[in-house]
Amino acid sequence: MSTPAWLAVDRLSLTEGGTRIIDGVSLQLGAQRTVVLGPNGAGKSTLLRLIHNLLHPSSGELRWARVLSQAMVFQRPVMLRTTALANVIYGLKLKGFTATESARRAQQALLRVGLEQLAKRPARLLSGGEQQRVALARAWALEPELLILDEPSASLDPASTREVERTINAIAASGTRILMTTHNLGQARRLAEEIVFIDGGCIAEQTPVAEFFQSPRTSAAKRFLEEETP
């Protein structure tokens, strides 16, 4: 880790209906781009939601170095039944910007993701890839210090996936921390600085990306990479 931790997760647990979904997770997040990997049902999405405050832990706590402004993008883009521009404006208005200021920032955000042509189109009529980029624009317009993404390109084709990755890179380049999960190992390789490998609700290992893919430390990770790689 090159930078001091911006978040210390301390023995975080979440039990629901008798099952321990997250089991005493402790870790220090300090990288600028962290990708969480793990088999299905390991608890990746749950961990992200706990960090984003969408879920409340049964025990344990999150210790922030300082509280960061956050935004989240989900696997399926949630678009309101209005134009792409209005969708981006919505988030800005919620933050307290005036109508004119919101419109200006929204236009800028769409420009940055390359969708300024589609600003006035009904968001729900756009392709999956375009909608996801609108979601990214919406998040980016809020200038979050931490952007959380839950399998952002899982439902997209390769071309759209590349566009989404390009946008994530741009957002990271502008200084935002990235915390995401994915099933796409190539994507993890391309985007991550650090891999957090989670298995059965516990952290199995936390390794810089190159090392993780070449020689993972745990047997669980080894097995995972073998199974996932075609």
Q: How far is the CB of 4 from other proteins (least distance, A)?
A: 26
Give the contacts of 41 (CB within 8 A, at least 6 positions apart). Answer: none
Q: How far is the CB of 189 from other proteins (least distance, A)?
A: 27
In the bound state with other proteins, the residue whose beta carbon lies nearer, of 64 and 74, is: 74
Q: How far is the CB of 70 from other proteins (least distance, A)?
A: 8
**Alpha-helix residue ranges (DSSP H) falling in the chain:** 44-51, 84-95, 99-112, 128-141, 158-173, 185-191, 209-214, 219-228
In the bound state with other proteins, the residue whose beta carbon lies nearer, of 139 and 203, is: 139
Q: How far is the CB of 215 from other proteins (least distance, A)?
A: 37
In the bound state with other proteins, the residue whose beta carbon lies nearer, of 124 and 217, is: 124
In the bound state with other proteins, the residue whose beta carbon lies nearer, of 28 and 155, is: 155
Nearest to 28 by CA among 222, 194, 225: 194
3-class secondary-structure state, position 92: helix
In the bound state with other proteins, the residue whose beta carbon lies nearer, of 72 and 156, is: 72
The residues that touch other proteins, with contacts defined as CB under 8 A, are 49, 52, 54, 70-72, 74, 78-82, 90-91, 93-95, 122-125, 138, 142
Q: Which two tokens stand for residue 203?
A: 């952290």
The alpha carbon of 144 is separated from its chain's Cα centroid by a whole number of angstroms, namely: 12
In the bound state with other proteins, the residue whose beta carbon lies nearer, of 123 and 220, is: 123
How far is Cα 196 from Cα 219, in angstroms, rounded to an integer?
Answer: 14
CB atoms within 10 A of CB 81: 10
Give the contacts of 33 (CB within 8 A, at least 6 positions apart). Answer: 172, 177, 178, 191, 192, 193, 194
Q: How far is the CB of 209 from other proteins (least distance, A)?
A: 27
3-class secondary-structure state, position 12: strand
Q: How far is the CB of 199 from other proteins (least distance, A)?
A: 24
